[in-house]
Amino acid sequence: MVEVKRGDGFSTWSLTLVGDMSLRGETRTIRVEGAKLSFLKASEKTAKIAEGDLCFLKCSYQVRMSDFGIHHKDVPGKVSDEIELSQMPRMSTIQP
């Protein structure tokens, strides 16, 4: 984990995520490089998103459907085997 930015009330870190992904009964370990983890202290600006201190995890990664046993005779000509997923969950120190 490497800090990439720090300011008044926030910090952002670059990191690699490693975990298991399951699709249709197949499980594979995936590695997501370049994910960003940001911590923000509660402020008037962050209160527009959610109350409390906030944490955001932002990442994008590619998944090959065939790695999870997903095949269809029409897929090769119509849909890419590889898809890109982008996620940005946000968390707060205060329950909704």
Q: What is the pLDDT of residues 4-54, one digit of tens each?
A: 999 999 999 999 999 999 998 999 999 999 999 999 999 999 999 999 999
What does residue 74 show for φ and ψ, rounded to 5 degrees? -90, -15
**Domain tally for the chain?**
1
Q: Give the CATH number, domain containing residue 50.
A: 2.40.128.110
Q: Name residue 14's amino acid.
A: S
The whole-number average pLDDT for the span 59-85 is 84
Name the residue range of residue 85's domain: 2-92
DSSP per-residue string spanning 38-69: EEE---HHHHTT-SS-EEEEEEEEEEEGGGGT
- Answer whether 0.75 is exceeded by the pTM: yes
